[in-house]
Structure 1
Amino acid sequence: MKFMKMIAATATAVALIAPAAWAETRVTYKSAKTGSSYYQMGVEIAEAMKAGTNGDVIVTVEESQGSVQNVMEVRARGGDYVFTTPPALVGLAQGGKAMFEGKGDPAFDEIRALFPIPSLTMHFVMSADSGVESFADLEGKTILLGSGTFGATEGEKYLKLFGLEGKVTIADVELSNAVAALKNGQIDGFVTAGSYPAPNVIEAAASADVKVLSLTDEQVAETKRTRLVIPAGTYAGQDADIVTTSLPVAAFTTTKMDDETAYLLTKTFWERQEALGNAAAWWNAVTPDMLSNITSAIHPGAVKYYKEVGVALSDAHM
């Protein structure tokens, strides 16, 4: 509540000077493939920016093939470029590691964060009829992982980590058919990663009796991912918190963006966050505490805003 009151006070003060300080600003927001939840989030952010600035900020949402592409494009983009990616990828790009090995560029060192957005959240969704209550119960069951997605890659990794490799049948079914396959008994469960509440998990919980598995703290540590709790009541029939893992995601730009624009984008995002959450529940999970998941520098314009509203930043953010 204190944070929200400080936001309201800052918004009132800024509103008095905004018309004189800013002309129309155009921004390109690059996130994910059309039809994905992250593309939809981009559309929601565009609408929030327009509403929150009375049309002074116009955001064009651009389709992307993925986070790596988003990072690579900073080499050729200007100061109007905003993109989403897991903070970990920024570190890899700046260090020339993994998928960025041999592709290093000074432009990567100029990447700066603005604000967090909903995390990719792992869901292991099991039918009640399967009798599965924990990962140990998955042996002998049929699971849909999908293919070519973060959730599929993570799901396969977790099966190996938890001693289930070769002990679980992997269904040859598209993830888009997961709910139907679960309802007709073709599979015992499916794995999906998306910002919670995830639409396909909402559909599964509303149309069938399901259980979303929790990980133990030891299992979370094994995955080397960020621990996340999905509150009780998020999905139909869910009467307890679900402990799972997540991959943090944030909105970034570069030092090519001027401080005033970065300040305005960050300020407007947080001022409109409650309205975003009223329109789409996944925004309710975003809090200032999630800035701790950003391990690289934050844009000076955004830093100015966070200092104004009393949000603590780390040395790495400066």
Structure 2
Amino acid sequence: MKRFVKFAFVTAVIFSFAAAASAATFINIGTGSTGGTYYPVGAAMAKVWNSSIPGMKANAQSTGGTAQNLTLLAKGDAEVGFADGLYYFAYEGKGQFDGKPMKNIRGLVPLYAEPIHFLVAKGSGIKSLKDLKGKRVSVGAVGSGTEVTVRTLLKVNGIDPDKDIKAENLGLSDTATAFADKNIDAGLTVGALGIAGVVEITTIGTAELIDFEPDAIKNLCKELPYYLPFDIPANTYKGQTKPVKAMASWNILVVKDDLDKDLAYNMTKALFEKKKDILNVSTRLASMAPENLKYIQVPLHPGAEKYYKEIGAVK
């Protein structure tokens, strides 16, 4: 009899653990490198979801960034992914996604903008992209997203980056050094507002930000539709007393359309209700706001849309 009771107890425990496991919701979040913004923010979001949604088991996974996150989503190895503008090409089946559109991508939350910064050495006389001809210009590290974007920007505005300028493949920290050593005349770089390298350059005063001309903005946004006109707010950087005309690509959270509607609703709601916890990790997420839904260029997930309708952010 004792053995039977013991067996029954053990069986009950096993079934209770099995029931608990089956009730758990596992969410893998594709982020970025551990040294970037995506990963620590993703970890903060996982913590918010785990504490707010019963049974949630969310985990932030370090990845190579947007491209890998989209691959993980496609394979079912991630349920949520951080993504820059590349998600638009994935949805449309363009570029590296040619012939393989990911029409099941849905937007969950807008995150923050990454504008193109147009930096010129003080006294260089450079006032527009056309003035870059014959100049020494930092175009980003070899193979980086910055280099791809900058080369596209120059080409659609009538500048051959291989012939018309003296292109320097420099990362942002090396660009700062090159300005300090007077080895370059200008630099074009992509990064979030307040990015460290631009802060360093403008604080030292070796270079300043200038406006992109309207046609330059129009031409790039037409070529790369995930870029939109964007003003870098006044006083973002030292000595920048007025807004600077630029263009930016928005980072967003993407999911697939088969994510449970109620779950997507609760995930979206939790992020906004506990936004302060995420801001403690990165102030860049101050722009994670319903009014920035207009920058998401794929359909919203129905669960997220339900939340935004409740708060009056969408009709």
State the TM-score, normalizing by the size of structure 1: 0.78
1:214 match: 211
Query: How far apart are 1:174 and its partner, in Å?
Result: 4.0
CA distance in 1, matches of 2:103, 2:152: 31
In structure 2, the partner of 1:81 is 79
Report how many aligned residue pairs link the two structures: 285
Cα gap change, 1:206 to 1:306, in 2 (>3 Å): same
Structure 2 contact 27–80 (Cα < 8 Å) conserved: yes
Matches within 5 A, 1:208-247: 208-224=205-221, 225-247=227-249
2:95 matched to which residue of 1? Answer: 98
Change (3 A) 1:217 1:266: same
Give me the whole-angstrom Cα distance separating, in 1, the residues matched to 2:97 and 2:130.
37
SS at match of 1:130: coil
Query: For 1:166-207, what per-residue CA distance to the aligned partner results, in whole angstroms no more than 9, with x for missing partners?
Result: 332112444442212221212223222112122211122222
Q: Does 1:159 align with 2:166?
A: no
Q: Which residue of 1 aligns with 2:31?
A: 31
Give the whole-Å Cα distance in 2 for the aligned partners of 1:101 and 1:134.
33
Question: 2 CA distance for matches of 1:25 and 1:287?
Answer: 26
What is the DSSP-based 3-state SS (H/G/I as helix, E as strand, rest coil) of the residue aligned with 1:245?
Answer: strand
Consecutive unaligned residues in structure 1, runs of 5 or more: 1-22, 314-318
Cα distance, 1:305 vs. partner? 0.8
The CA deviation at 1:231 is: 0.5
Any idea what the Cα deviations from partners look like across 1:29-83, whole Å, max 9, x if unmatched? 11323323333433443455457x39975542222224233223223216x6101
The 3-state SS of whatever aligns with 2:314 is: coil
2:115 equivalent in structure 1: 121
Is contact 1:115-1:252 (8 Å) kept?
yes
How far the C-alpha of 1:86 sits from its partner, in A, is 4.0
Question: Percent identity of the aligned residues?
Answer: 25
**Greater Rg by CA:** 2
Cα distance change, pair 288–48 in 1 and its aligned pair in 2 (3 A): same
* CA offsets 1:197-225 (integer angstroms, 9 cap, x no match): 22211122222342112112222111123
Contact 1:135 1:213 in 2 (8 A): no
Quote the residue 1:304 is aligned against. 306
SS at structure 1 position matched to 2:215 = helix
Aligned partner of residue 262 in structure 2, secondary structure: helix
How much does 1:302 deviate? 1.0
Aligned residues of 1:133 and 1:211 also touching (Cα < 8 A): no
Which residue, out of 192, 195, 205, partners 1:195?
Answer: 192
Q: Which moved more, 1:224-233 or 1:168-177?
A: 168-177
- The verdict on how the C-alpha distance between 1:297 and 1:136 changes in structure 2, with shifts beyond 3 A counting, is closer
Is the contact between residue 66 and residue 86 of structure 2 (CA under 8 Å) also seen in structure 1?
A: no
CA shift in 2, pair 1:172/1:263, >3 Å: closer
Q: Distance in 2 between matches of 1:67 and 1:56?
A: 28
Go from structure 1 to structure 2 and tell me whether the alpha carbon gap of 1:33 and 1:138 turns closer, same or farther (over 3 Å shift). Answer: same
**C-alpha displacement at 1:94, in angstroms?**
4.6
Q: Which runs of 5+ in 2 are unaligned?
A: 1-22, 222-226
- The Cα offsets for residues 122-164 of structure 1, whole Å up to 9 and x where unpaired, read as 1122222434333343233211112222221121222233333
The corresponding residue for 2:126 is 132
User: Quick check: 40-49 or 190-199, which moved more?
Assistant: 40-49
Q: Is the 8 A contact 2:179 2:206 kept in 1?
A: no
Alpha-carbon distance, 1:284 to partner = 2.5
Choose from 244, 262, 265 the match for 1:263. 265
Change (3 A) 1:114 1:189: same
Residue among 248, 251, 254 paired with 2:250:
248
Contact kept, 8 Å, 2:53 with 2:266, in 1: the verdict is no
Length-normalised TM-score, structure 2: 0.78
Counterpart residue identity of residue 153, structure 2: Y
The answer to whether the Cα contact below 8 Å between 2:113 and 2:251 also exists between their aligned partners in 1 is: yes
